Structure 1
Amino acid sequence: MSKFHNHGDFAETVALQALGWIAANDELLPVFLGSSGLRPGDMRTRAAEPEVLASVMDFLLLDDAWVIAFCDSVGLGYESLRRARMALPGAAPDWG
């Protein structure tokens, strides 16, 4: 049985991993902060908020190179990011 009780648990875990990956990337972090409007302190205090996690996933999904680099670094299949994003609030319908 999966260690995740539902898709939401999986999505939150992946999004938190993604946030940590972005935070550790000196080139990508300022881009994320600029696009999200978050301040570095917000990342720590608001990291578990569904809206923040969704914005992390939306940001990461903007660039295939980021998806590949993140997924390779944590051992996830590339499609996992899209599935995780779909389980978080505010996801667009999956048309394909």
Structure 2
Amino acid sequence: MTQLPRGEGYSVLQEGDEALALQALGWILSDEPRAERLLGMTGLDPDGLRASLGERATLAAILTFLAAHEADLVACADALDLPPAQLAAAAHRLEGHERIDP
């Protein structure tokens, strides 16, 4: 588990959240209309997306994009062979919503 400082507490990531977001991105990019929707909703262009893949906010945006559209969330989860709730929980953690106080 990785802890990143955020304000008064810590945002707790589970190991693999970032990798899960990248796997989900691969699934998103396998369909051009869906990929274009992601770019439109994030405001990124392909170069910007590529350049920001190491940033937590971008990884969170990828999973949040899926969580906002249940059909895509379920289809991606099926393709990655995991429960949709696992993708949604990783999005939540990457967004910094799961916190513990020091």
If the TM-score is normalised by the length of the shorter chain, which range does it land in? Answer: 0.7 to 0.9
Following superposition, the deviation at residue 9 of structure 1 comes to 2.5
Alignment correspondent of 2:73: 67
Root mean square deviation of aligned Cα? 1.9
Is the Cα–Cα contact under 8 Å of residues 11 and 88 in structure 1 kept in the other structure? yes
**Out of 90, 93, 97, which is 1:91 matched to?**
97
**TM superposition shift of 1:81:** 1.0
Q: Which residue of 2 aligns with 1:80?
A: 86
Q: Does 1:14 align with 2:17?
A: no
Aligned residues: 89
Say if 1:85 and 1:91, in contact at 8 Å, map to a contact too: no
Q: Which is strand-richer, 1 or 2? A: 2
Which sections of structure 2, spanning at least 5 residues, go unmatched? 3-12
1:92 to partner: Cα distance: 7.6
Letter in 1 for 2:18: E
Summarize deviations over 1:31-59 as a string: whole Å, max 9, x none. Answer: 11111000011222211210100111111
Instruction: Give TM-score scaled by structure 2 length.
Output: 0.76
Q: Displacement of 1:72 after TM fit?
A: 0.6
Identity of counterpart residues, as a percentage?
31
Answer with 1 or 2: which has the greater Rg. Answer: 2
1:48 aligned to 50, 54, 61, which one?
A: 54
Task: Assess if the C-alpha contact under 8 Å between 1:21 and 1:70 holds in 2.
Answer: yes
The equivalent residue for 1:25 is 31
